[in-house]
């Protein structure tokens, strides 16, 4: 390829769980354009969900430009297009047959990458980067994000850690941001964000927060957990901005925000309950203790992923603190035992907070996912 010609990348995304898949691919597409000087088309089959994450998106358009990325509607009848130099099949979505033919018709076949879901399981390192033989001269490789050295790493924009630390050291910046959401921080309260799936443990956790000696303030972005919060409060409807007080706990619904704003929300909070993959990774970059509601899979395959991550995440903590956090995550994902598990976490709060920052630093010392993808392509050509 001519050194003056930008490499072209096509990223394909099927929106499976509302925001997780598109959240990851949209972050990746923007970073590739902004930091690696490549051209990116992002093919998406559900622009309405995408619009929630990025309100500037216009779902009625077949093609549009946002943040230097060409966003294309994934049509039912595939148009005639030139295949890109690098093709990313995100999270097991299937490429259209005509597009595969276009890939094979190139003078130099496209590099085909199957970007997999994030996992801390040990086998990931052994499978990362392996080829999968394909017909028609095509080259397909499995690319695994991950936490270990021999994986593809995590999505992390340049300077993210420095920006986060500067923001967390600036109380005025935090107050100003929260004010844009209609939030006033309760003095002396533990600030918690809650973004989760429906959860049988929710009421028990809210009960123990309400009965605590220390006040807590829970901010709930609009999402699937909202029904459970509404039932616990015993109200017919939760309006954004309205503060509900019960005992030591105040609860407030906040708007569903853009990705960059969600980062700031996570950075403001002392503790973040998150779900899926995109918010899970962003909560880790906040350097604050977190609680992950993992997406449930058939035959309980998600438990292996949960336990594998916890084993890595608590390596730097003392056994009692690590066990307290492990018990909390298990209780949250099993739907029982949340009250006792939360009390044990509170007993090790300072150590778990320090461990969250340590984990963030360890992960930031490794290459980020976008850089790893670009380097893989350069090595391949």
Rounded to an integer, what distance in angstroms lies between the CA atom of residue 102 and that of residue 84? 9
**Residue 359, domain member (yes or no):** yes
Residues 375, 349 share a domain: no
Q: Which domain holds residue 123?
A: 8-154+367-380
The whole-angstrom distance between residue 152's C-alpha and the CA centroid of its chain comes to 15
Report helix, strand or coil for 58: coil
Per-residue model confidence as pLDDT tens for the chain (381 residues): 445 578 999 999 998 765 778 999 999 999 999 999 999 999 999 999 899 889 999 999 999 999 999 999 999 999 999 999 999 999 989 999 999 999 999 988 889 999 999 999 999 999 999 998 887 778 899 999 999 999 999 999 999 999 999 999 999 999 999 999 999 999 999 999 999 999 999 999 999 999 999 999 999 998 899 999 999 999 988 999 999 999 999 999 999 899 999 999 999 999 999 998 899 999 999 999 999 998 776 666 788 999 999 999 999 899 999 999 999 999 999 999 999 999 999 999 999 999 999 999 999 999 999 999 999 999 987
CATH classification of the domain holding 12: 3.40.50
Residues 149, 176 share a domain: no
**Residue 318, domain member (yes or no):** yes
pLDDT of residue 24: 94
CA atoms within 13 A on the CB side of 276: 22
| Positions marked active-site | 21, 277
**Residue 3, domain member (yes or no):** no
**Which residues have CB under 8 Å from 71's CB, separation 6+?**
41, 42, 44, 47, 50, 57, 63, 64, 65
Residues 335, 203 share a domain: yes
In the chain, the DSSP E strands lie at: 8-13, 39-44, 63-66, 69-73, 86-90, 111-115, 131-133, 139-143, 190-194, 216-221, 243-246, 249-254, 271-275, 290-293
Rounded to an integer, what distance in angstroms lies between the CA atom of residue 328 and that of residue 154? 24
Residues 315, 251 share a domain: yes
Rounded to an integer, what distance in angstroms lies between the CA atom of residue 98 and that of residue 83? 10
pLDDT of residue 52: 86
Residues 117, 16 share a domain: yes
pLDDT of residue 6: 87
Residues 243, 143 share a domain: no
Q: Report the candidate in 102, 55, 58 with the shortest Cα–Cα distance to residue 78.
A: 102
Which strands form 190-194's sheet, in the order they lie side by side? 243-246, 249-254, 216-221, 190-194, 271-275, 290-293
Rounded to an integer, what distance in angstroms lies between the CA atom of residue 348 and that of residue 153? 29
Residues 346, 259 share a domain: yes
Rounded to an integer, what distance in angstroms lies between the CA atom of residue 246 and that of residue 257? 26
Residues 264, 359 share a domain: yes
* The model's pTM: 0.94
Domains identified in the chain, total number = 2
Residues 217, 184 share a domain: yes
pLDDT of residue 56: 94
pLDDT of residue 134: 83
**Residue 2, domain member (yes or no):** no
CA atoms within 13 A on the CB side of 296: 10
């Amino acid at each position: 390829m001519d050194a003056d010609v930008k490499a072209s990348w096509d990223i394909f995304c099927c929106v499976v769980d509302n925001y997780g898949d598109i959240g990851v691919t949209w972050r990746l597409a923007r970073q590739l354009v902004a930091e690696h000087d490549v051209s990116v088309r992002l093919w998406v089959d559900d622009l309405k969900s995408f619009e929630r994450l990025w309100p500037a998106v216009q779902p009625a358009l077949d093609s549009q430009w946002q943040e230097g990325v060409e966003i294309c509607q994934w049509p039912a009848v595939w148009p005639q297009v030139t295949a890109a130099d690098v093709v990313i099949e995100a999270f097991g979505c299937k490429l259209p047959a005509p597009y595969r033919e276009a890939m094979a018709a190139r003078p130099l076949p496209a590099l085909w990458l199957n970007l997999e879901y994030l996992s801390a399981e040990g086998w990931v390192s052994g499978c990362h980067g392996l080829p999968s033989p394909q017909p028609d001269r095509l080259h397909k490789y499995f690319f695994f994000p991950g936490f270990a050295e021999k994986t593809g790493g995590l999505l992390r924009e340049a300077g993210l850690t420095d920006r986060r630390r500067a923001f967390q050291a600036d109380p005025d910046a935090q107050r100003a941001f929260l004010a844009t959401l209609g939030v006033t921080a309760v003095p002396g309260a533990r600030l918690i964000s809650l973004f989760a799936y429906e959860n049988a443990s929710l009421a028990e956790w809210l009960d123990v927060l309400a009965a605590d000696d220390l006040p807590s303030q829970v901010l709930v972005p609009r999402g699937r957990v909202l029904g459970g919060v509404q039932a616990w409060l015993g109200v017919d409807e939760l309006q954004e901005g309205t503060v509900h007080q019960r005992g030591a706990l105040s609860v407030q619904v906040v708007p569903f925000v853009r990705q960059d704003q969600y980062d700031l929300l996570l950075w403001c909070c002392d503790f973040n309950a998150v779900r899926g993959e995109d918010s899970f990774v962003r909560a880790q970059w906040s350097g604050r203790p977190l609680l992950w509601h993992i997406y449930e899979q058939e035959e309980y395959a998600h438990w292996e992923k949960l336990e594998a991550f916890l084993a890595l995440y608590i390596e730097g903590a003392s056994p009692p603190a690590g066990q307290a956090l492990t018990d909390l995550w298990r209780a949250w994902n099993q739907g029982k035992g949340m009250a006792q598990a939360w009390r044990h976490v509170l007993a090790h709060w300072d150590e778990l907070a320090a461990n969250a920052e340590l984990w963030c630093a360890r992960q930031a010392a490794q290459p980020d996912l976008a850089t790893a993808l670009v380097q893989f392509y350069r090595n391949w050509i």
